[in-house]
Amino acid sequence: MAMVNSKLQDQIDDYLRYSQVERGLSSNTISAYRQDLEEYLSFIEKEGMPSWPTEASDVDAFLARQRDLNKATSSISRLISSMRKFYQWLARQNIQKLNPMLEIDLPKKERRLPTALTQEEVNKLLEQPDVKRKLGLRDRAILETLYATGMRVSELINLELQDLHDDLGLVRVIGKGSKERLIPISPVALNWIKKYEKEVRDPLILHVGQNDEHIFLNSRGKMLTRQAIWQMIKKYCQMAGIVKDVTPHTLRHTFATHLLENGADLRVVQEILGHSDISTTQIYTNLSQKHILQVYQKTHPRL
């Protein structure tokens, strides 16, 4: 049994190598695939199955187990998507032709609206970093950049000096699938970045003696992690007294919502956010319509 299971583990490893090298998927995507497929393998081992299941009923049993563990619909969908791609690869490699995933449907999506901050909450959040301190100045520049551009946290931490085109008021970002886009950045955010560069970043680079082209660095002169940004945002939200469930994506949601509330075209917002499908962007129209209704109810004289 151990030999068979190690063979299945090897197949997962081969598939992930293929996904990284041949398909050029990001390390975050590869990590998600690994987590999903190893969870599936763990189930197979517990059930004493000698190979990848070929019956949809076995896959259904695995997914039912995931639902019993109160996994979110989005997590179940991701699992199914990962398993579909893996079974397709198994067939192309002539490892296993029978594909039970052909009979498995994705669960219906939960249309949960993303959290967005009000303008007042954004202003409070931006004021929290102590800009007299080096890390405070860096954090203010980060928060201003996230709110000014709507970029993803992963895009922010990968920003390099050459990506800033301050003369044009644009910044170049590399998004999902290594897609490049130029997006506007406000003079306010640019000023904070320049102040951070001059007073914190450049002296830090000289001090550590190693040049790193990334714009935002930690106290050791190294590239920041997504976790560090997440913790920083949580800390400042607490300091600002913001009780909403704020995630690293919240400023991106807020950026999109505020643009639409102030009359921006949906297609423009789609381009800035880097959404390949406009239906992804349309979720924000629900938020702005809610805002319109609130304004109407507050201001119409006959209500």
Q: Is 220 a catalytic site residue?
A: no
Q: What is the pLDDT of residue 212?
A: 84
CA distance 83 to 6: 18
Answer for the pair 137, 199: CB distance below 8 angstroms, yes or no: yes
How far is the CA of 147 from the CAs of 83, 140, 177, in angstroms? 36, 11, 23
pTM: 0.62
Number of DSSP helices (H) and strands (E) in the chain, helices first: 13, 3
Residue 97 bears catalytic tag: no
Among 93, 91, 110, 113, which residue's Cα sits nearest to residue 102? 91
pLDDT for the residue numbered 105: 84
pLDDT of residue 85: 94
Is there a catalytic annotation at residue 214? no
Alpha helices, DSSP H, located in the chain? 2-21, 27-46, 56-68, 73-92, 119-127, 134-149, 153-157, 187-196, 202-208, 226-240, 250-261, 266-273, 278-299
For residue 287, what pLDDT is reported? 59
Residue-level pLDDT at 1: 39
Helix, strand or coil, per DSSP, at residue 29: helix
Q: What is the pLDDT of residue 145?
A: 97
Q: Which of 195, 275, 290, 291 is catalytic?
A: 275
- Catalytic residue, chosen from 140, 252, 253, 258, is 252
Active-site option among 65, 71, 194, 249: 249
Catalytic position from the list 138, 140, 152, 253: 152
Concerning whether 176 is annotated as a catalytic residue, the answer is: yes
Report the pLDDT value the prediction gives residue 288, as an integer from 0 to 100: 59
111 is catalytic: no
Half-sphere exposure of 98 (CA within 13 A, CB side): 8
- Is there a catalytic annotation at residue 249? yes
User: What pLDDT shows up at residue 3?
Assistant: 45
pLDDT at 113: 62
- For 10, residues 6+ apart whose C-beta sits below 8 A from its C-beta are none
pLDDT at 291: 62
Torsion of CA 256, 194, 188, 183, to 10 degrees: -30
Q: How many CB atoms lie within 10 A of CB 150?
A: 22
How far, in Å, are 31, 79, 86, 204, 290 from residue 117 at the CA level?
30, 31, 39, 33, 14
Tokens (6 digits) for 5: 């299971």
List of domains in the chain: 2-103 (1.10.150.130), 119-299 (1.10.443.10)
List 71, 85, 176, 195, catalytic entry: 176
pLDDT in tens, the chain (303 residues): 344 478 899 999 999 999 998 888 888 899 999 999 999 999 999 888 889 999 998 999 999 888 888 888 888 899 999 999 999 999 999 999 899 999 888 877 655 666 889 999 999 999 999 999 999 999 999 999 999 999 999 999 999 999 999 999 999 999 877 889 999 999 999 999 999 999 999 999 888 888 789 999 999 999 999 999 999 999 999 999 999 888 878 899 899 989 988 888 888 888 898 887 777 777 776 655 666 667 667 776 765
| pLDDT for res 286 | 65
